[in-house]
Amino acid sequence: MAKYENLVDRFLKYVKVNTKSDEFSQTVPSDPKEVAFLKDLAEELKEIGFSNVRTLKDGYVFAEVPATPGKENVDAIGFISHVDTADFNSENVNPQVVTDYDGQSVVKLNDEYSLDPEVFSSLKKYKGHTLITTDGTTLLGADDKAGVSEIIAAGEYMLNHPEFEHGKVVVAFGPDEEIGIGADNFDTKEFGAKFAYTMDGGPLGELEWETFSGAGATLTATGKAVHPGTAKDLLVNPAVVLIDVFNQLPEHDRPENTEGREGFFYLTTFEADADKGVMRMIIRDHDRTKFEERKQMLTTAVENTNKKYGDAVVLVLKDQYYNMGEILKDQPEAVDVAKTAMNELGITPIIEPVRGGTDGSKITFLGTPTPNLFAGGENMHGRFEYVSTTVMEQATDLILKIVELEAK
């Protein structure tokens, strides 16, 4: 790890800071914890030697590594990561370091939870690696603090090695990716990249240029509270009303039943009492036509239920992001460069449609083609999350190789 001597230490420092975003917030960024982390990160970038470090009104921190002499005319390329973590316990993250993992042993997280290779088969490919895990009580935050650490390590390497020739490299670190709003107002003109990459993928080799299109739905049901003993033809139960809507959707089309390019409806939260009920869902599909059909299915289900219960349900349906493959299929340069870089590093590209989305989806539609590259995390968003330090180093190698190829 000598090539990137601060990579792992920086990552271990970052994950100990709680930066969980808040989907119910009305502010941008959504949580003061993110603001504080990004402020500290900006100061750290200045200390390392990044130039033109600035914080934008949407919370993003932009910075640059200037081109080396003679490469000033090379188009700038960018690398982007988010600092927030998902909706799982992220307070008091206590990362555990497992050195020289043998690829077959059970890794004990605490007295209750373990990483068992018979359950998590991905562990078997990490023989000889150093792994960083949770202590079983929190997530780790490799999504996406691994990406943050890798981008900074690559920038630090360029700044400390003037013999490494490169064009201008622009970097961005932002909030609120996990709640789907972080890149809503990403300033692509200010960023100034010909194309960019989000370092927000999982295992070694992931190169993702197709995502779901996504929408979020909030359904609010208003009830009519009546004593159940005298409720005939009067009572309207908000929970029953919302269940009625949900049951009209295709039973198969749920995350637990789907894979590959199959879309779904995912019920994320449900709460109700005698007066009011709220159900939140996300809608996903790779195909734009099917995506629109899914939104219409939900709208029709609400209309049917309102006919039955007297306009008891209000639906708020909002598009979150679209499949960036719609654009990248016609603008493949960033994908092609990444594939070439991986091949030169002996990394086999794994190109599959993402069953999710990234900030790159929005940034691509805002005008900067931005596929997604691996950052190394496994089992993300929960207590079983872990990352290999070797893969983190390989992700940093990839950043530098892409930069090198662009400067030739």
Buried b (16+ CB within 10 A) or exposed e, 239-262: bbbbbbbbeebeeebeeeebeeeb
Contact 324, 365 (CB under 8 A): yes
Which amino acids are annotated catalytic? 84, 177
Q: Name the phi and psi angles at 11, rounded to 5.
A: -60, -45
Buried b (16+ CB within 10 A) or exposed e, 194-228: bbbbbbbbbbbbbbbbbbbbbbbbebbbbbeeeee
Give the per-residue SS3 of the chain. CHHHCCHHHHHHHHHCCCCECCCCCCCCCCCHHHHHHHHHHHHHHHHHCCEEEEECCCCCEEEEECCCCCCCCCCCEEEEEECCECCCCCCCCCCEEECCCCCCCCEECCCCCEECCCCCHHHHHHCCCCEEECCCCCCCCHHHHHHHHHHHHHHHHHHHCCCCCCCCEEEEEECCCCCCCCCCCCCHHHHCCCCEEEEEECCCCEEECCCCEEEEEEEEEECECCCHHHCCCCCECHHHHHHHHHHCCCCCCCHHHCCCCCCEEEEEEEEECCCEEEEEEEEEECCHHHHHHHHHHHHHHHHHHHHHHCCCEEEEEEEEECCCHHHHCCCCHHHHHHHHHHHHCCCCCECCCCCCCCHHHHHHHCCCCCCEEECCEECCCCCCCEEEHHHHHHHHHHHHHHHHHHHC
